[in-house]
Structure 1
Amino acid sequence: MNKGLIAIMTLLGVGVLLAPSCTTIVPAGHVGAVYDKLEHGVQDEVLTEGFHIKSPFEKVKDFPISIETIYMSKDDREGSEDDESINIACKDGSVNADLTFSYRYEADKVPDLQRKYRGRDGNEIVDTVLRGQLRTWVSEVTKNYTTIEVYMDKREEVNSKLVDYFNKRGEKYGIRFENVSLAEARVTKEVQLAMEKRQKISQELEQQKMNLKKAEIAKEEEKLKQERALIKAQGERKANEEKAKGLTETVLKEKAIEKWDGKLPQSTNGGTLLIK
């Protein structure tokens, strides 16, 4: 076989073997933190998404800079490893809840994270470090609220506070939280009964307010009806008075003349009566 052909085939074979270690693809929405095992350590510049050629001594770890969403929820196998719901502390007890959060890494902080966590990628940091911290962070917010407020009354306020607090605590991890919320929450039977009792009382009070309002409206309508009747009576009385004023003696005589049939009235003795 031609020595030149053998050399080319050898080079191609070596190229095929080395290709995986000399190239990398950073997924969409991610950056790649580069660690040079030979001498340079973690590089200050990250790789953007797409295809890259690298040294075989460089190792690349991916970090999401687009929004990633994680659900820590309870499933049917209560107490199993798949149960990721969290127990959170409140002023007067505790609540079990599902936690949902959306986050992204800040690209300029990725190299420092790679140095701090010794080559872990973004998902590994979330899974091995942050998940445990998040449980504590939630309770640090909810401890200022009662179980009923967390469960129902102030859920939106609590979620808003969680976003602010998570971003404050997440700065050192180079993470920005876009959304944090307590999804489904579960309380003890005693708390549930207390809420049902309060809801019933609230409904009764609301019904009383409606009844009182209806009574006030009926009273106001009756008052208006009486006022309208009074105004009508006063108007009729005034009209009659004006009409009576117009009936003077002259007018009465004129009306008598208008009704006269032309015949003079006769006296009992046969004489004619004269009208003055």
Structure 2
Amino acid sequence: MSDTSWLSKFPQLERGDLIAIRKTLDGAYREFSRNYGDTIESLFDPLLTFLIWFEKLLIASPWWLTIGVILAIVYGASRSWKLCTGVLASLLAIGVLGMWDDTMRTLSIITVCTLLSIGIGIPTGILMSRSNKVQAIVTPILDVMQTMPAFVYLIPVVMLLGIGKIPGVIAVIIYAVPPVIRLTNLGIRLVNKETLEAATAFGATAKQRLFGIQLPLAMPTIMAGINQTIMMALAMVVVASMIGVKGLGQPVLKSITNQYFTLGLFNGLAIVALAIIFDRVSQTYAKRTQKHLGGMNND
């Protein structure tokens, strides 16, 4: 008896039926994109305008000023001169090797995608932490977002919005936002219930408990989620370059198609440098936050 004989007990669609279903769905989506694509695209015009302005600002600003601002942010987050020295060396190497403009383009889109992911992810994680029903609904969606190959969800985005920065931002956010949602939910749920009960006993409202206790105590876990989101966003740089997003990904893609080993290596190392900078800064900030909270708890 064949191992697949049990399948015969279920009704099966004929090949022609499957083709008909696919054609119907494809036609419906094409019709939707024709009728509503321009309207949906216009909703993203403010974001596109900001992206273009921010990219031009980073590229047009003097390199020393840009590096100075980045170092100030790094030191403010980490309080580490060693990390600042490493960041300075990395940025100077990127400039000397002629990758400054592409790095600024990548930095602009990654910064915007990270901020949008945080803006979407933390409120969603808060909702999940407050309701098991919301968690049960959102979790499978996050599973699909994390396991679906990026090239698959690029197809409907490109069909609807064409190629350019906005489809790239949407693709990056879909791929990168799940960690911050999951870890925000987890961090809030792990807050000591006795601490919350004590706050309630002192008359704290739900809003006061959230912003005064839960979010501060969950911040190290949330920062770990933000860190993962940044890493996943950077991992999408090369994929996003396939739909017209300029930056370090395009030279890497060009090196693949034309077998330019050195070009791909240098731009790949620049992406790695950005990833390490973001990783070290966010991790150091999370550790500082954790130590601060630990000191408060000891008091």
TM range, normalised to the smaller chain? under 0.3
Where is the helix percentage greater, Structure 1 or Structure 2?
2
Q: Which has the higher strand share?
A: 1
Larger of the two Rg values belongs to structure: 1
| Greater relative CO (CA pairs within 8 A, separation 6+) | 2
Q: TM-score, normalised by structure 2?
A: 0.23
